[in-house]
Amino acid sequence: MSVIELAVPISEEAVRSLHVGDTVHLSGIIVTGRDAAHKYMVENFIRTSASAAQHPPAIPECERELYQELKRLLHEGVIYHCGPVVRQGDTGKWEFVAAGPTTSIREEVYEPDVIQHFGLRGVIGKGGMGPDTLRACRDHGAAYLHAVGGAASLIAEAVKEVLTVHKKEAFGIPEAFWVIRVEDFPLVVTMDTHGQSIHDQVEARSKATLDRLMGS
């Protein structure tokens, strides 16, 4: 099976050409974000933007710079559900020691809004996500890209540079927004823009097998 080379920023045409089962090598600048980051984006940026009568949204001045930076990075970009292990060298430069994916379903309550508001094209994690995120992928042009769990050190080799970090002091290292440059990050498309989810298919097959074994 051929590998699809995907570079950030990702066009809508490119992401809509992907299908579940495709193997992807991703390169470019992406952002990590887990529970605290998603909750923060929704509560401080997305809901504020939706309820504000004025433009730009009624975001506090101290947060506006980060909002604009995330808008720039995430538009046609990728967010990675990852709590990295990092170290800081003598020069003060950060590097990833381990960069394995975390379970994505915890972000199901937030991810559809993040996809729509920021114009995401890709969400990386493990374990898949639910129907609301699948619907958002279809409607707004995004894909869920599954990273291999248990390969944190190997994945860290794809992280070529840590550009900066946001909210480290507020959220802690695992939950911060790490802005990283990756090369040939190996991934598999498991939820696509066509309403297909390998995770749903596996669940359905598992249920059918269980029903058969139970004599249902």
For residue 141, being part of any structural domain is answered with: yes
Integer Cα distance of 172 and 166 in angstroms: 10
- Predicted confidence at residue 178, as pLDDT, reads 98
Q: Which residues are catalytic?
A: 38
- Burial of residue 204 (CB within 10 Å: 0-12, 13-18, 19+) is exposed
Q: How confident is the model at residue 54 (pLDDT cuts 50, 70, 90)?
A: very low
Q: Are 30 and 78 in contact (CB under 8 A)?
A: yes
Question: The domain spanning residue 139 has which CATH number?
Answer: 3.20.130.10
Q: Is the pLDDT of residue 58 over 80?
A: no
Judge whether 86 lies within some domain.
Answer: yes
Question: Above 60 in pLDDT, residue 206?
Answer: no
Per residue, the 3-state secondary structure of 129-162, as one string, reads CCHHHHHHHHHHCCEEEECCCCCHHHHHCCEEEE
Please give the residue that has the higher pLDDT: either 63 or 194: 194
Residue matched to tokens 């059918």: 208
Which pLDDT value is given to residue 53?
A: 47
* Within-domain flag for 99: yes
In a domain, 84, yes or no: yes
Per-residue confidence at 32, pLDDT binned at 50, 70, 90?
very high
Q: Tell me which residue range forms the domain holding 148.
A: 3-211
- Mean pLDDT across the chain: 90
- Residue 216 domain-assigned? no
Domain count, the chain: 1
* Confidence band for 149, pLDDT divided at 50, 70 and 90: confident
Q: Average of pLDDT values for 161-171? A: 97
Residue 196 lies in a domain: yes
